[in-house]
Structure 1
Amino acid sequence: MLRSKRKSKSPYARPNAHPALRALNPATTATQTQAGPSRPTQAAVQFVSTQPQNQEHQLPVDDPTTSEQTAVPLPSIAPSIPLSTSVGKIQIPGSAGRQDSSPFTSGIVVPLRPHVECLLEAAISKNTASTYQKGINSFETFCTKHNFIFCWPPPLDHIINYIAYLHANKVSYSTTRCYLSGISYKLQLEGQIDNTKTFIVKKMLEGFRRLNPAKDVRSPISLSCLNKLVSILPTVCTSLYEAVMFSAAFHLAFFALLRISEFTFTSNDAPALLFHDVTINETHIGLYIKGSKTDQYNRGTKLQIEINSQTQSLFKHMREFLAVRPQIQGLFFCHFNHKPLTKYQFTSVLHKSVKFIGLDTTTFKSHSFRIGGATHLYLQGHSEEDIKSKGRWKSNAFCSYIRL
């Protein structure tokens, strides 16, 4: 039994069959009535997708030349932000737009803050910390002098101009490196961007070094020069006790290759030569150096100076000093009033003695004893390893101390 055709169909039987949609696009409705419903071809979809984006809610119009292709309107999504709405300016990346970060700003428990500061303070020596602070102060002076707004972290152009400023003011290459190291240390400690490590800064420092090569102008004190300096000490010093003490100090600095900080008083926490660190017997003099430039952790080093024809004068002056030295503990070299021998006092007496015998005071410094002692050992036929061990060098830097 055949089912009779329905005379009235539902207006929602197929797409675009609703009277309102037919009225909206009559051409498409007529085409669909003749050819039947069909899926949009790839060309039709491509045609619709190439319409200008600013024509919103615009339905496609049939092209009379392509009657077989029918464009099906794609759903149009309105932008969430109108095109005419202005968007805030995006922050330009750079050091000026960043917030200063510091390990002390947040995240550290208040009772533990002193321990954090104590550990960071102990991470470097006081001399290094003082040099780093001088570098930061020098950079602030540069900014003030040239009307730069001091900001932290410093931009790259400030660092570049600062290096040129130091070169123009005849600052040495080594001092420039130390000052930049101070700025770099503070930046890394605070977690900031370190512009001192950039390529242009490295190349400027390389040019700095080529144009201003480092020259060690310090002259070595020879054994004959040492004897001359000791001979005029009674004239330079204020008392006989002072002359005896400086005679022993000059000889020990020469034969033991001592740095001035290893046997004079510099600060309360700096390791220096104490009374119980020195032993003297008939065959040798023993020294115990608790810490030095190359021994930052104070592991200690034992030295032994054998008696021979060259070191007889050292034994003589050491015994003379022990005979008049007050019987107290503390630093080995001390004045008659029990006060320790300071670095300033040693360099001052050396300067007066060098000037008295007519030598150049700009080249003979306290380190001249160490340079002269290394040269003396080399001339006596000691091996390089022996000189390196006696001078407590960790590298081949001792080669620059041998001045023939």
Structure 2
Amino acid sequence: MTAIPKIAPELAAHIVDPVVYGNWRALLDTFATLRRDSPVAVAEIPGYRPFWVITRHADILKISKDNATFLNNPATVVVAPLMAEMFVAHLMKGSPHLVKSLVQMDAPEHPKYRRLTQDWFMPANLKTIESNIRAIAKSAIDKMLSMDGTCDFARDVAAMYPLHVVMELLGVPESDEPLMLKLTQELFGGQDPDLNRMRAANISPQEATELMAQTVADFNAYFEALAQDRRANPRNDLATIIATGTIDGMPIPDYESAGYYTIVATAGHDTTSASTAGAMWALAQDPAQFAKVKADRSLLPGLIEEAIRWTTPVQHFMRTVGADTEVSGVPMKAGDWLMLCYVSGNYDESVFPDPERFDAGRSPNRHISFGSGAHQCLGLHLARLEMKILFEELLDRVDSVELAGEPKRSQSTFVGGPKTLPLRFVAA
């Protein structure tokens, strides 16, 4: 019998440590070691269920496209200690998920729910709202330029701009956007002392899960009221589509409806915020590249793809093996749990030469930040359009940028990116 490849304990610990994700340097070093020595191996971490760790681009892509063998359900999509999993199952009356959304669904359920809103995120519909997005982008740059040459780009621009865009699509009033930002940061930054609900350091994973459950309850209460309003007063927005939608002729159940609203409201802006801030972080460190993109706007599409790769806002997803299989010759059994390490895949040297270098001209750029297969990101066209429009406006009105302090990434194993980005800039 072939021995099961296992990851060294000190490296395995890094994979679930939010502080390491905030460090980033240590994380990239860990993944580089795993790609070289243990690309398909099991992590055994005290308090956690054992799981396979997949670190090479080719393997992640293959698994992502095989939605019949590698399932989103029944396991949670984020790594959680056993005690936290048990808490969630108790709280949600047997469900392993605090939120049930498109992310947690498999066929035949998943495509039925995805079709409800898919057309809203396609290029044809986005073209009809492009002028609105540009107006929001202009306003975001107006705010930046009003700040006397310094700003925290992550907080002041990148966080608020895509938030406003997606809330307009969803139908959430502008007055409620600060609440949506707060709850999103609490949900995705549950162990980050600057973002979690208690703004507390050194909280345990179990405590973080309990705090996130409180945040989910706040989301559910908000969106339940919004859904009731849209059923009584339908509008031309996504909130109405979800509130009045049906699956197999029946209204969407409350649990699934709440999850649908939450995934649109959170993932719909937070990941784009992260990539936008990531692009500016890289440009602020490289004045020559900023000047090059400012002079040649044909580089913008490449800048956007590189920012999405370099930042990798969705840092991992989990899958469950649905039937005995193998990955790169390593056998796996039905029921095994595995982690798709998107950060590692996006820094795979065999696909991206000099992967830590930010290069707006990188081509080809086969990053896996949006996933692949049936679960490819629903909002990828919107994210690209938002970033393109914002940087068009910014490059027209800003002559130079530089770091004005140390940027910091959020301490999160699941969704992360720059949480602070101090900048100095010169207006055009």
TM-score interval, smaller chain = under 0.3
Instruction: Name the structure where strand makes up a greater proportion of residues.
Output: 2
TM-score, normalised with respect to structure 2 = 0.20
TM-score, normalised with respect to structure 1 = 0.21
Instruction: Name the structure where helix makes up a greater proportion of residues.
Output: 2
Rg (Cα) greater in structure: 1
